Each structure stands twice: as C-alpha cells, then as structure tokens.
Structure 1
Amino acid sequence: MQLVVARIGRAHGIKGEVTVEVRTDEPELRLGPGAVLATEPAHTGPLTIETGRVHSGRLLLRFEGVRDRTGAEALRNTLLIAEVDPSELPEDPEEFYDHQLMDLDVVLADGTEIGRITEITHLPSQDLFIVERPDGSEVMIPFVEEIVSEIDLEEQRAVITPPPGLIDESEAVIASTRDETEGEAEGEAAEGDAAGDGKRDGA
C-alpha cells in the first residue's frame, strides 16, 4: 500500500537541500537516509534520500543526484510516497495510519450517525478528518483527543464529542431564531391579554 509521507517545499541553500512538509508520524522511519520513495508526479522519481537534518524546526532533505538549487527547486510540490505493508501498525497504539482511518463511520457517543471519513488533511498544528455526511455535505473534524474520544478499528467507527457548532452551525441559528420567535409570540400574547382580547391555551 502506498502512503503519502511528505511534500517537498522550497529549496534551502545552494547545495540541493529542500524543505519538507512531513505527513507521517514516523519521519525517522519513512524519511531516513537510504529510503527510496515514489513520487507524484511519477516522472520526478523515484527519489533516494541521501541526508536529512532538522533546521529551525523544519526537516531538510537532500536526494541522491540533486546537487544544486536549480535541481532542488525542480522538485518543489512533489509528493513523496512510501510503500507500506497494509498489516503494519504504528509502534504507538494511540497512533494510526491514514489507511486505517479512511472510511470509518463517525458517530456521536449516543450512536447518532454523523458520516464517513473520506479524507485526512495533515496541517502543521493538527490533523483534520474530512467527513461526508449522509446528505452529501462535508464537515471537518479536528483529530484531537478532546473531540475524537475513541477510534474502534474492529467496529470501524470513530466516536466524537464535538463542541457546540462544530457539526452543524445551522442548529444553533435555528434554535436562536426559534427562541426569538417564541419570545415575540409571548410578548404579543401578553399585549393581547392586557387589551382584553388575548386567547389562552384551550380556549
């Protein structure tokens, strides 16, 4: 199984190094010296990692055969793809590979169906589940412990406890509108009672 593990960014310096946007929880395993990676677009690879180092909090890689800034810039925005055994699991039981999470059902703690994970977006600060709802719309769920309370691979589901407004902001709008309408209705009824022509329940 092929998994995207990084995206090449801009060139760094003049000796062929590139910055890398890491998309794996195991960069030391997937992006270490000697690793041979397929690419997207395919014609830029395969690429063999020659050296790697961290500079100012960012991973820098140099690939075999790339010796100058021009060659490094030519690789910009290339996706690096590793071949992974589908049965392989991360060392940390609290971590998951993307392919394990794809197509999981997303439900609330009470079993209410929210949708299905169709994509996982890796951001610098956190990962996001892109969840397709039964009506075809999409919602983004941050993959953080405070919101995703359980990943059950046997049951093929992710249990979430979303904060108000995350799943459907329209619910809050509808509730607010309803409250205002009810409040206006009560106010009109009170004015009608004071005028002597209001109706009461059951009249």
Structure 2
Amino acid sequence: MSIEEPSGRAERDRSLMRVSHADRDRMVEILRDAAADGRLDTDELEERVERALTARTFADLESLTEDLPVAAPAPPAARVPAPPAPTVTEGEVEQWHVTGQRFRREGAWRVPPIVELNMFGGSARLDYTQARLPEDGHSTLRISTYGGSVRLTVPPGVAVDLSGISRSGGRVRDKVSRHAAPATRVTHVITVTGSMIGGSVRVEASNAQ
C-alpha cells in the first residue's frame, strides 16, 4: 500500500503553486491591455485588478482570463526544491495589503529591510521620523498600487530613491530632494520600486505641514 504525501496534489496540479509579486504585476498588465482593447469596461477592470492583487495561486489568476484571448501567467515548468513562495529570513520581508482604507505606520516602529505594499484605493502613510531603521543604511519599499495614495514622511538624513517606480498615470513627487540642503549627510536610503496605476506617491520632510 502506498501513502500519498500531502504535496502530491500540488505535484499533479501546478496551478496550486503560490504566485509571486511579479506574477501579480504581470496579471495587472494583461488586464490593462484587455481594457485598452475594449474587452473590459472600467468596472470589470477594477474588480479583476483587485482580485489579481490579492491572488494567492496561479489558479486564482487563471480565472481572470477565462473569457479573454490571452493566457494568465503560468507556473514554472520545473519544480524546484525550495517552497513555491520565496524563502527569506524570518522577519526580513513584510507584506501589507490596503483595500480602500487608511493605513499608517508612525512613531517608533521597526522598519523591515523589505516591505511589499499592495494597494487598491485607500491611503498609506509611512512616517520614518522616529522609526527604527535597518542598521545597514538601506531599506526597500516595493509597491503595487491601483489608485490610492502613498505618503512617506522622512527626517533629515533619510533619502528616498523613486527611480524604480513604473507607472501608468498618477503622480510621483519628492519634495524632500527638491529642497534638501547641499551639505545634508545621508545616513539611510529608502529605495521604492514596483508599479502604480493612477494614484500618487509623495515624499515630504518631517516638518512639513
């Protein structure tokens, strides 16, 4: 008699594998192209984008293109020894999901080395004024937003690199670098990457009103 391991189902059905941040971003691009071709109206696009940003498996993504002449992102062709989800050091990456509400981090909060922020509407404010920053002088904020606003409040010595953002519409403003004094010593850099559809990303100084 043979005993089937718990992973047997995933071996047979690769659509049960977990999707990555990049897979969700690719799905959003596919839906945007379909809307641009007139295959989805605005309400359908918004509903499917929200489902794409919260998808957990490739099966969740496949259901979003069943009536479209294009395939959803597919799972890897070969199984690797590592788990489907990225393997990281405990506490190294944090994922935050915002859907139509207000999200805040302020006070003496601990800044993870990497944060993945997925937003569908709503707003997120990250105040680094009293935050406990990583000791190596660098942290990363990966965003995937559909509408909504992201505001970063930083003290002197903390710089924000916004060059890695890919956007379709929306506004990206860095009021800190524009008015920073030439002699200001940078002790920490926040690198912002990812994609945004509409909405806004704004960086302001701690003393901004």
TM-score range (shorter-chain normalised) is under 0.3
Higher strand share: 1
- TM-score, normalising length from structure 2? 0.22
For the pair shown, which has the larger CA radius of gyration, 1 or 2? 1
- TM-score, normalising length from structure 1? 0.23
